[in-house]
Amino acid sequence: MTRRRPLELRARLAALESSGVWLRPRQEMIHRIKGTQDLLPGQIEKWQFLEQKARDLFARYGYSEIRTPIFEETELFSRSIGTETDIVQKEMYTFIDKGEKSLTLRPEGTAPVVRACIENNLFAGSGATKLFYMGPMFRYERPQKGRFRQFYQIGAEVLGSDSPDVDAEVIEMLVQFLQEVEILSYQVQINSIGCHQCRPQYLAALREKIAGILPRLCGDCNRRAATNPLRVLDCKVEEDQPYINTLPSTVDSLCEVCRDHFLAVRKALEKQEIRYQINSRLVRGLDYYEKTTFEITSDHLGAQNALVGGGRYDGLSQCIGGPEVCGFGFALGQERFVLALPEKDYSGGRLQIYLAPLGPECSEYAVALAARLRRQGVPTFLEFESRSLKAQLRQADRLGIPFALIFGLDELQRKEIQCRNMRTGSQTAISSDIESLLGWIRTRE
């Protein structure tokens, strides 16, 4: 390599400086925010698999997709979720915008869907409105396995029916979803937490019982006992469990309407041959729930074992200024579902081809061939830089692409292409016309 003369080097540096291109000092690396994650190639395929399975299944049950804004007026969540819940008190990402309005990144999906239905008059006249959604939610929680501050949910809502058959059908749909994504080890847990008629009496009895054991309970339970005693039942502190197990059961305190509804849900599940457990401590963390609540858990997830949860929210619409409309729905955490999925190839099984032209003289043909293969639905990778065959094959192997089409000027003059199996290393020559190539590719899909 010829060494540049000092004058020539100074002239080159001066030209770089005058053009605005200059060697800047290296800056400190900016990292992703705590509690978030990058979904990378090799991981994202599981997420796409879940989302497509959900879309296909929900369509069979009559659901349509809805997408709501990522932020809403703060009052939507404080009214619906409840001002005394942990979500509203400690976990919401709330900010004041330039119009002096308080906005919140959505911590859950049900309230925005109900708000959208009210605002856009989506409620069906005589039947149920069925909607599903997918997207990110935000809560300031302590990050741990399967739990992030930006997390992703798939959810569905049925609005306009108080039938217990709705509750059972939603749970049955989720059981079908679990089977289709091959999560076969799970438990369905159900409960009823009453309604505005019978819950006040239950809460009075609950407060009285909690008062006798309060000194033995954790700090969170002491705080909740005064503001939201139902949440004491959801305590996870190991030392508190013997005392919490002595608290009265929600199921034993139901009014006749709630008792009949819960019995009908159970009978409908049994008719569908869905095994379930009654968990009288299953209250969920949102104030808008009443009557049926449910969770589906998995043994594969450790302490944070809930895959999906939901329930009935017949008073939510009125709470945010809408008409009297019953509702039932659920949300599932995609992070936890991904952890529970069996290990296998989620790429969809599509055969991908790597084009390996030998030399810049073949680049024009390579670009045209790549375009023709892609138009025929064949995923095709083409490197833009001119590289050696060894380097190209190494890249194809790193990308996991199973077949490479190799051609130089000699091959093109003979109107043939070398087809290499990257797994076995075997190689065969075939005609370079597109029909022959497509025929060869399709016999290997």
Task: Looking at the structure, tell me whether residues 56 and 133 fall in a common domain.
Answer: yes
Higher pLDDT, 245 or 54: 54
Beta-bridge partners for 310:
294, 330
* Spatial distance between the Cα atoms of 422 and 385, rounded to a whole number of angstroms: 21
* Spatial distance between the Cα atoms of 203 and 215, rounded to a whole number of angstroms: 19
Whether residue 291 is contained in a domain is answered as yes
CATH number, residue 175: 3.30.930.10
Task: Looking at the structure, tell me whether residues 316 and 385 fall in a common domain.
Answer: no
pLDDT for 1? 47
Size (the chain), residues: 445
Task: Looking at the structure, tell me whether residues 142 and 280 fall in a common domain.
Answer: yes
Task: Looking at the structure, tell me whether residues 430 and 331 fall in a common domain.
Answer: no
The band of 224, judged by pLDDT with boundaries at 50, 70 and 90, is confident
Task: Looking at the structure, tell me whether residues 94 and 185 fall in a common domain.
Answer: yes
* Spatial distance between the Cα atoms of 119 and 288, rounded to a whole number of angstroms: 19
Whether residue 108 is contained in a domain is answered as yes
One-character DSSP codes across 381-410: EE-SS---HHHHHHHHHHHT--EEEEE-HH
Whether residue 249 is contained in a domain is answered as no
Q: Is the pLDDT of residue 300 over 90?
A: no
Task: Looking at the structure, tell me whether residues 314 and 365 fall in a common domain.
Answer: no
58-94 pLDDT tens trace:
999 999 999 999 999 999 999 998 877 888 888 999 9
Q: Is the pLDDT of residue 2 over 60?
A: no
Closest CA to 135 of 120, 116, 119, 121: 116
User: Which of 70-74, 115-119, 176-180, 426-430 is predicted least confidently?
Assistant: 426-430
Closest CA to 167 of 307, 329, 55: 329
Beta strands 416-421 and 427-431: pairing type? antiparallel
Closest CA to 325 of 335, 315, 333, 334: 315
Q: Number of folded domains in the chain?
A: 2
Beta strands 150-159 and 327-333: pairing type? antiparallel
Task: Looking at the structure, tell me whether residues 367 and 289 fall in a common domain.
Answer: no
From 340, 371, 391, give the residue that closes a domain: 340
319-338 pLDDT tens trace:
999 999 999 999 999 999 99
Task: Looking at the structure, tell me whether residues 272 and 409 fall in a common domain.
Answer: no
Block residue for tokens 């959810």: 155
From 288, 318, 340, give the residue that closes a domain: 340
CB 67 within 8 Å of CB 133: yes
Task: Looking at the structure, tell me whether residues 73 and 145 fall in a common domain.
Answer: yes
Between helix 434-442 and helix 363-375 the angle, nearest 10°, is: 60
User: Which of 96-110, 160-174, 219-233, 365-379 is predicted least confidently?
Assistant: 219-233
Whether residue 167 is contained in a domain is answered as yes
Residue type, 440: W
Whether residue 262 is contained in a domain is answered as yes
Task: Looking at the structure, tell me whether residues 162 and 118 fall in a common domain.
Answer: yes
CATH number, residue 420: 3.40.50.800
Q: Three-state SS for 285?
A: coil
Q: Is the pLDDT of residue 45 over 80?
A: yes
pLDDT for 110? 96
Whether residue 367 is contained in a domain is answered as yes
In the predicted model, what is the mean pLDDT of the chain? 89
Task: Looking at the structure, tell me whether residues 408 and 326 fall in a common domain.
Answer: no
Task: Looking at the structure, tell me whether residues 104 and 190 fall in a common domain.
Answer: yes
Q: Where are the alpha helices (DSSP H) in 148-295?
A: 164-180, 199-213, 219-227, 241-244, 256-271
Whether residue 239 is contained in a domain is answered as no
Domain of 385, in residue numbers: 353-442
What average pLDDT score do residues 413-428 get?
Answer: 91
Whether residue 22 is contained in a domain is answered as no
